[in-house]
Amino acid sequence: MRAAVVLLSLCLPSVAFAAAPFIAAPVPVGSLVVPLCPTEAVTPGAAHLVTFGLPFPRGSVTGAQLANVRVLSGASEVPAFVEQLTPWRHRTNAALDGTSVRVARIQIEHAFTGSACENVSVSWGGVPRTQNRPALVPPRTAWHTVASGSFVAADGVQEPDVYAVLPKDWLARGVLKGVQDVPFDASVAPARDDPATMDATEHWPGYVEADHAQKNNFFSVINEDDAGVAAANQCPYKTDYEPWLYDRSATMYALYFRSGLLKALREAVRASDFYADHIDANGWFTLKGEDTKYVYPENLAYTAWLTGDTTQLAHVPAMLAAHDTFPDVWVTNPDRFWTERHAAFKLLANAIAWELDGGSAQRAKVDAEIAELVRHQDGADGQIPHPPAYVDGGLYHLGTQHDYDWNETSYGASSWMSVLLVDAALRAYATAEDTPTAQLIRRLGTFLRASVVITPEHSYDTYEDALPLPRYAMLSDGSDGQRNYEDIEHALDVAAGLAWAGYFADLTGLPDPTLRDTAAELYYSYDIGVNYWIRPAGPASGLTAYRVAPWRKWGWEQRVAVGFVWAMRAEGDVIFANGYDA
């Protein structure tokens, strides 16, 4: 039985169930300070080409108004080439489709005085630009082959000579990811934290525990946890496909979107270039082969939008063709493979392709995939039986269709794989703002909430009491499909899915506080787990101090958790209870 819940601070706003706008408000007039950070490829004193993307909230700037985008170094205007890289697209509202700039591409030259970052400012909505560059120079002419750190020259990875680093508050408006978020707490430093300090602190205020963990585990996955970590215990990202599951690069971008850290941006770009170099002519990731759950245009889009270089986007058509090998429509054939994960990555790929290039055919693909998920959730035209105590919201399918992860003749669904669908559906919602997608996400939350049980049978042996965990698989009548001690490792990602379901419950006029309540309970499990995985003495034995096991865990937790804090709408307030007992 759950202990009496003692809330340390309210997680909901003072006006109950008032859903904030999903899309960030336009900023028609503004200015940003943008640090330009040189790499070792830059010679001080010489003018160097710099290209970057600047995202704008929808409705901020039209194509014609890009003439008023100015770059200044101090008080002096810098000659700049400015163009629209990607417009805001909308699948249902022609008045919003293509009528404002989502990402502008900016190109300048800058001479550095030394090796440190130097600031420029970018303004819009004011007086017209008077200093122009005549044409775009291919951005990759100012990239170099990486020869130190996470890659060496033999890896063939390239990166920009100069990085433009955007403020975390601006990135958190959600223009690139498609969902708004709350930036890292100001107390979270850029560097890796002392593991002894982190281990000694059981709980940080609000969501700061997650901020620290997202950053500290990043250093482990790029093999910069500690100099004492033995080679055998480092992440094998150059040779093994496993660390790339759930999109390793996009997860690094997720860290950048919340932190604004140069280190996160640089490693994300490098990882994306390595990944793109390993996409073959048929769209497959060569470290894995023909498996659509490793096919991700998401990180390629972020690289284009942030660096202004679109070279990698040439892979997208082949990647979409690879995803087309996964069936569009679920059927009851017990031999027909189907998982929420594969469906999610297909929807995500097609939604991103629509954002990049638009087109009626691509719009129709996204519309059809959402319609099919809704049909499936509604029972697939009567194909899915409704037993007593049927739990609404799951994308139920047979155990045989899901690699026998539950009884072969039973209908079940996976909790954390359903969160991948929530993430993809959020992306689709941002370009349609439609009721069917909103209800799809809300109802997925009904399933996710039912999948959570509170049990002492979890894998955190340093914590004796019961904790909430999401069962890997739940049958359509609410009973166990598959339950494991390790299911608690999906506490954060399932909490994110529930937080978004709570948001859409409010937005659709069907408020359900238990959705966010369950998310808060799962966040407590995650909070406990962060300390469980820290071992300050590990490097003395050749082990990491910040354990990430398996390596893909950082991706399954953090890529889909973008927007979690915003959806909870606590903005740093403490939201979890003080504990549970059996």
Strand extents, DSSP E, 149-249? 158-160, 162-164
Question: What's the whole-model pTM score?
Answer: 0.95
Calpha distance 34→515 (Å, rounded):
39
Domain layout of the chain by residue ranges: 30-171, 195-220+307-568
Of 556, 548, 258, 244, which Cα lies nearest the Cα of 419? 556
Q: How confident is the model over 315-345, as pLDDT tens digits?
A: 999 999 999 999 999 999 999 999 999 999 9
- CA 170 distance to own-chain centroid: 16
The CATH number of the domain covering residues in 195-220+307-568:
1.50.10
**The dihedral sign for the CA sequence 566, 188, 258, 521:** negative
Token pair belonging to 270: 């490098």
Q: Report how far apart, in Å, the C-alpha atoms of 429 and of each of 304, 433, 435, 497 are.
A: 22, 5, 9, 14
| Per-residue pLDDT at 17 | 59
- Show the low-confidence residues of the chain (pLDDT under 70): 1-17, 570-582
Q: What angle do CA 479, 485, 489 make, to 5 degrees?
A: 100
Same fold, 30-171 and 195-220+307-568: no
**What is the tens place of the pLDDT at every residue in 524-560?**
999 999 999 999 999 999 999 999 999 999 999 999 9
CATH top-level class of 30-171? mainly beta
Count Cα atoms within 13 angstroms, Cβ side, for 194: 4
DSSP lists the bridge partners of residue 452 as: 470
Greatest alpha-carbon span in the chain: 75
